[in-house]
Amino acid sequence: MSKLLNLIILFLFPFFFASIASSDTPPSTPITPTNLCKSTPDPNYCKSVLPPTKNANVYYYGRFSVKSSISQATKFLSLVNKYLQRSNTLSVPAIRALQDCKTLGELNLDFLTSSFQTVNKTTRVLGSYQADDIQNLLSAILTNQQTCLDGLQEASSAWSVKNGLSVPLSNDTKLYSVSLALFTKGWVPKTKNKVGTSSSVQVTRKQLGFKNGRMPPMQMSSQTRAIYESVSRRNLLEPVVGTQVKVNGIVTVSQDGTGNFTTINDALAVAPNKSSSTDGYFLIYVTAGIYDEIVSIDKKKTYLMMIGDGINKTIITGNQSVVDGWTTFNSATFAVVGQGFVGVNFTVRNTAGAVKHQAVALRNGADLSTFYSCSFEGYQDTLYAHSLRQFYRECDIYGTVDFIFGNAASVFQNCNIYPRLPMSGQFNAITAQGRTDPNQNTGISIHNCTIKPSDDLAANIGAAATYLGRPWKQYSRTVYMQTFMDSVVDSKGWKEWDGDFALSTLYYAEYDNNGPGSNTSNRVTWAGYHVINSTDASNFTVSNFLLGDDWLPQTGVTYTSSLI
């Protein structure tokens, strides 16, 4: 494929990868594996795993690929468990990396099983919301594979384990990529926009809910309300106009012993498992205080809502880091995987410091998750937007190197982004987006935010350059829209990762930004960098990128659907 054609595809079709050779073939039309595989990132590998059936269509091959992926994921998880059974012969960092791989492998099995249930019974293009659900799961599987490998590479003492797992990791990743490509070709509509909506139409709609950190009206039983009113501060119940938030239970965490629990993890232990979106939220109210604990919300703890007393009042803190033997993945002070999580009014810190390099404050792998009026403080790798769909509103984010990173489909709206003073010789990169496959519907969208230096950097403004981002992985995708950029942002805008790596395959874009750092006249001239118009920018709004109108209203969190 020519460089020019590659550019056209990257610019016009940022959400989907398609081969010219097979893009016009209807999914229900019989097609040979050779022709079908031209629409995948690795055609030769694709041909090697698909059955040589001459009269099958995309749906047949797609089901075959997902079913094969389930089999391979099961075998890989078994292999990881065999290594863990020999843990007495392994170093602590190697064990931690393997435990990450086990956690991620279990998620992959869940995601593949759920995906297969859909593709096995459906032989048609799906509606936007249903297609988005499965495309997100299949995208996350690839992210989980890469995270497992990254952790093994970080644990230098795990070289023997890495050697044993690298080949199956690589082969399984290629198979999962085939599954994602075929699902995208057969089941995903050509546009994410809802029926009757054009991406060129600018519709701004605000869902009123949480306002100034206060809670909207809540639907709850009389017994739950009585408990709530007896243990929580009354100003949290100040009514505002908006969708009611349904609550099915509540506990209070308070360090002085006046609540139900004194630690957050004890409160999490009593939260119900596998709640659905219609059940309502289990609410954990965390009163002011410094909670020195590593918080982990696993996949069973779905539709939880956690509310603190405010930024810098309710503080969750930890100090794990890669230098001290943790992987980046498990260095997080606060980690959440359970779907539908909503966090409001608290601060998460990793206090390991710049000298400890990768040290995560928040790691978020929770689908349909929301953080409102929260603060995340660290240096390198502060906020790990790991996977699936995420929304952040009116949050403060502090860091230095790659401090908003990961491979979720994430939108940051009305947030304050504060580059800090890094170590001598370092530069600041606000983002390091980790998209590894052209069919992943992931990326970082920063909308109507403010970028200003933190106090320590402002006092030493010439000590380090600050860039909007750099490409952590091959298809890195980040967009800044209608955001204020202070002069702290380098005029070049973006930073290379390693030579010319990913400069033609990434997708970096800016739209209608303002402030002294927003001038694009001296920006990089990479093939993958663009100054875009409103039509292209609308692809990265809450409504189109996250399909947020379908799930954000129930959270009660304020959001803007489209461009402002």
* Whole-number CA gyration radius for the chain: 23
Q: How far apart (Å, rounded) are the C-alpha atoms in residues 490 and 239? A: 43
Q: How far apart (Å, rounded) are the C-alpha atoms in residues 275 and 286? A: 21
| The 3-state secondary structure of 247-285, one letter per residue | EEEEEEECCCCCCCECCHHHHHHHCCCCCCCCCCEEEEE
- For residue 344 the two structure tokens come to 């409001």
Closest CA to 563 of 200, 203, 197: 203
> Dihedral sign, CA of 513, 516, 517, 518?
positive
Q: How far apart (Å, rounded) are the C-alpha atoms in residues 503 and 455? A: 33
DSSP 3-state of 477: strand
Question: Which residues of 142-219 form beta strands (DSSP E)?
Answer: 206-207, 218-219
- For residue 43 the two structure tokens come to 């055609």
Segments in 293-384 forming alpha helices (H): none
**How does strand 466-469 pair with strand 507-511?**
unpaired
Strand partners, 289: 314
Exposed e or buried b per residue across 316-326, where buried means at least 16 C-beta atoms within 10 angstroms of its C-beta: bbbbbbbeebb
Q: How far apart (Å, rounded) are the C-alpha atoms in residues 407 and 191? A: 21
Q: How far apart (Å, rounded) are the C-alpha atoms in residues 267 and 63? A: 41
Task: Classify residue 8 by its DSSP letter.
Answer: H
Q: How far apart (Å, rounded) are the C-alpha atoms in residues 104 and 98? A: 10
Q: How far apart (Å, rounded) are the C-alpha atoms in residues 211 and 222? A: 24
Contacts of 283 (CB under 8 A, 6+ apart): 228, 247, 249, 250, 251, 304, 305, 306, 307
Residues labelled catalytic:
402
Quick check: 523 and 494 in contact, CB under 8 A? yes
Quick check: 370 and 559 in contact, CB under 8 A? no
